[in-house]
Chain A
Amino acid sequence: MQALETTQDAGVNTLPIRTALMDGLRQTNEITLNVLMVEDSEADQELVLRELRRSGFAITSALAQTAEEFANLVHKNVPDVVLADYNLGHWRGIEAVEILRKEGMDVPVILVSGALGDINAVECIKQGATDYVLKDSLARLPIAIRRALREKQIERERMQAQRDLACKLEELARSNRDLEQFAYVASHDLQEPLRMVAAYTQLLAEQYRDHLDEKAQRYIHYAVDGAIRMQTLIQDLLAFSRCGRSDMGSEISDCNLILQRALDRLTAAIEEARAHVTWDPLPVLPVNRSQMEHVFQNLISNAIKFRGKEPPVVHVSAHAGEGAWEFAVSDNGIGIAPENADLIFAVFKRLHTREEYPGNGIGLSLCKKIIERHGGTIWVGSSDHNAEVKAGSGTTIRFTLPTKTQEPNS
């Protein structure tokens, strides 16, 4: 620590008090600062260092008077701040900025100079200097340094936050990929042994029918039933997990054709139930065809399945709205109680026992996921979301599909 020097006009017997004061200040405010000065005048250097110490910095400093010296010193010890005189005769201090940039060092450079002129000052800032302070207003220097350091800190924190975010996003993407792959492999590999269990228990029942009493046949029936349900469950879960993949694209599609394909798949069910299915002309929209086919198939299948005493009558309609089309699938079946209207879209949620109506409860939640991925909404009941839904009077499932695709990478 350097001895405090008396200034020329000190004269007054205030030294001991000032020393005590300064000591006190140093103890409370002390910031360690490693300064690299580019200055050819020793006197000027001293002035600057004194000003800095006075305002509470604990300084370690080095001095460079040429570009080479600067480069060497910067290598030895990266400073917190560079204070450079603008005009050193043979070298312009602003070039320190260039040297730092070449070395990839992000150190603020503050020009401490005699008369600079506004134009030159702006020029220096443009060339990369953080700030400039005139030698006859050195009191500004500590403020300038504090501000430069604070800005650097903020910048550093911002970049770190960005890196952290990028890291987390990559982790998330990787985790999603792992999950998808797991779901695919698990369901794929799970289906094989299940197929064997289901097939052989059925064969067993068939080939040893004469040797099996009623109880044994019932046992086998439960086993077969369980295996078959599990097969369906795995397939549905797989479809559910695959639905979220971002690479399932959309294309402009004729919804009438999609509906037709869904109906083709339901031919047997429609015939068996003697269902009467009608439809209005449907629009052309940007959708994922296989997913929308699944939605139609599931909604119509439900309409047929949850029928009352009469043969099911199902109608598919659509009308244009603001930026989207609203579709409706309505039936004359057993209906849904108002308190259950939201529940039915939850995964695995069933409102009936399996004896009453078959199914595992994934179908509607998958429909919801698909519709929402398209940017639409799906709900039970009338066009007015809040209107009363009466149980027993048939069901209408409505959903919207945007006219323009919502996904960024379709």
Chain B
Amino acid sequence: MKCTPTEVLLVDDNPADRELTSEFLSRSHYPSHIHTAGDGDEAIAFLQGAGKYAHVARPDLIVLDLNLPRKPGHAVLSAVKQSAGLQRVPVVIFSTSQAPADILGSYQLGANSYVCKPGNLPDFAAAVTTMGDFWFGCAGRHCSPEASVAENVAIIPIEENA
């Protein structure tokens, strides 16, 4: 259905998990470009187009772990959903946490979806591939990937204790 690759920002502090997730996202039936960030600050910098990220395209999807060093996932989620330029980007929380407080909290902060990272590989593979199939293939995007850089730069009010 969609030919242009989906731009994805994957935020996870564990490089092994980043690679695992990227591997199975790339096995989806639809193409994607996976950009990764290892912590909340890097993620925000990417989204703001700051510094070395000055010319990256705004992502069509953010896959976000909760357990990040320094700035927790919820803070990143909050910053994105409160930014006029970024709030329409779907955010999928992808975390090992099954704590009801984490799940409810994520939805209340505006997360579009919450996926618990399965513990075993076959389930993990199936979940991530399906995630890719849906968000890259079916789900509509709010603007085409050729959007101008100016449109990408949004002043994100980052609350420290979001």
Q: What residues make up the interface of A, taking CB atoms closer than 8 Å to B?
A: 191-192, 195-196, 198-200, 202-203, 228, 231, 235
Known contacts being A191-B96, A192-B96, A196-B16, is A202 close to B119, with CB within 8 Å? no
Tell me if A228 and B96 are in contact (CB < 8 A): no
- Which 9 pairs between the two chains have the least Cβ-Cβ distance? A202-B121, A199-B121, A196-B16, A195-B119, A231-B119, A199-B20, A198-B121, A228-B120, A199-B124
Chain B positions near chain A (C-beta within 8 angstroms): 14, 16-17, 20, 23, 96, 117, 119-121, 124
A235 to B98, CA, bound (A): 13
Smallest Cβ-Cβ distance to B117: which chain A residue: A195
Query: What's the Cα separation between A199 and B119 when bound, in Å?
Result: 9
Shortest CB distance B13–A (Å): 11
B118, closest chain A residue (CB): A195
**Can you give 23 A-B contacts (C-beta < 8 A)?**
A191-B96, A191-B119, A192-B14, A192-B96, A195-B96, A195-B117, A195-B119, A196-B17, A196-B20, A198-B120, A198-B121, A199-B16, A199-B121, A200-B16, A200-B20, A202-B121, A203-B20, A203-B23, A203-B121, A228-B120, A231-B119, A231-B120, A235-B119
Q: Is the interface of B mostly helix, strand, loop or mixed?
A: helix
Smallest beta-carbon distance A382→chain B, Å: 39
Contacts of A196 in B (CB 8 A): 14, 16-17, 20
Query: What chain A residues lie within 8 Å of B119 (beta carbons)?
Result: 191, 195, 231, 235
In the bound assembly, the distance between CA atoms of A199 and B124 in angstroms comes to 9
Question: Per DSSP, are chain A's interface residues mostly helix, strand or loop, or mixed?
Answer: helix
* Bound form: Cα–Cα A203–B122 in Å: 10
Least CB distance, A27 to chain B, in whole angstroms: 75
* B20: nearest chain-A partner, CB-CB: A199
| Residues in B neighbouring A231, C-beta threshold 8 A | 119-120
Given the complex of chains A and B, what is the CA–CA distance between A196 and B119 in angstroms? Answer: 9
Residues of B within 8 A of A195 (CB): 96, 117, 119
Q: Complex Cα distance A228/B119, Å?
A: 9
Q: Which residues of the other chain, A, contact B121 by a CB distance below 8 angstroms?
A: 198-199, 202-203
- List chain B residues, Cβ under 8 A from A198: 120-121
A228→B124 CA distance, assembly (Å): 14
CA distance A231 to B16 in the complex (A): 18
C-alpha spacing A221/B124, complex, angstroms? 18
Which residue of A196, A199, A200, A235 has the most chain B CB atoms within 10 A of its CB atom?
Answer: A199
Report how far A195 CA is from B17 CA in the complex, Å.
Answer: 9
Q: Which of chain A's residues have a CB closer than 8 A to the CB of B120?
A: 198, 228, 231
Q: Which residue of B lies closest to A194 (CB)?
A: B119
Most buried by A among B14, B23, B120: B120
A242 CB, min distance to chain B CBs, angstroms: 13
Q: Output the residue of B14, B16, B96, B119 with the most chain A CB within 10 A.
A: B119
Chain B residue, CB-CB nearest to A234: B119
Contacts of A199 in B (CB 8 A): 16, 20, 121, 124
Cα distance A192–B119 in the bound complex, in angstroms? 9
| CA of A164 to CA of B48, assembled, Å | 62
Interfacial chain A residues near B96, Cβ < 8 Å: 191-192, 195
Complex Cα gap A151–B88 (Å): 79
Once bound together, how far apart are the Cα atoms of A191 and B120, in whole Å?
Answer: 11
The residue in chain B whose Cβ has the minimal distance to the Cβ of A206 is B121
Distance in angstroms from B25 CB to nearest chain A CB is: 14
Could you say which residues of chain B place their CB within 8 Å of the CB of A202? 121
Q: Within the assembled complex, what's the spacing in Å between the Cα atoms of A252 and B69?
A: 43
Complex Cα gap A202–B125 (Å): 11
Q: For the complex, give the distance between the alpha carbons of A198 and B16 in Å.
A: 12
B124: which A residues are within 8 A, CB to CB? 199
**Chain A residues with Cβ under 8 A from B14's Cβ?**
192, 196
A206 vs chain B, min Cβ distance (A): 9
Which A residues are in CB contact (< 8 Å) with B20?
A: 196, 199-200, 203
Please, how many angstroms separate the alpha-carbon atoms of A199 and B20 in the complex? 8
Q: Quote the shortest CB–CB distance from B65 to chain A (angstroms).
A: 12
Compute how far the CA of A329 lies from the CA of B121 in the bound complex, rounded to whole angstroms. Answer: 33
Distance in Å: Cβ of A365 to nearest Cβ of chain B: 22
Other than A192-B96, A199-B124, A203-B121, give 9 A-B pairs with Cβ distance below 8 A. Answer: A191-B96, A191-B119, A192-B14, A196-B20, A198-B121, A199-B20, A200-B16, A203-B20, A228-B120
In the complex, A191→B119 CA distance in Å?
8
The docked-state distance in angstroms from the alpha carbon of A203 to that of B119 is 14
Q: How far is the CB of B69 from chain A (nearest CB, A)?
A: 14
Residues of B within 8 A of A191 (CB): 96, 119
For residue A228, which residues in chain B have a CB less than 8 angstroms away from its CB? 120
Instruction: Collect the chain B residues with CB atoms within 8 Å of residue A192's CB.
Output: 14, 96
Complex CA gap A202/B117 in Å reads: 17
A235 CB contacts on chain B under 8 angstroms? 119
Closest chain A residue, CB of each to CB of B23: A203
Contacting residues, chain A, for B23 (C-beta < 8 A):
203
Instruction: Tell me, in angstroms, the Cα distance from A3 to B117 when the chains sit together.
Output: 93
CA distance A274 to B16 in the complex (A): 39
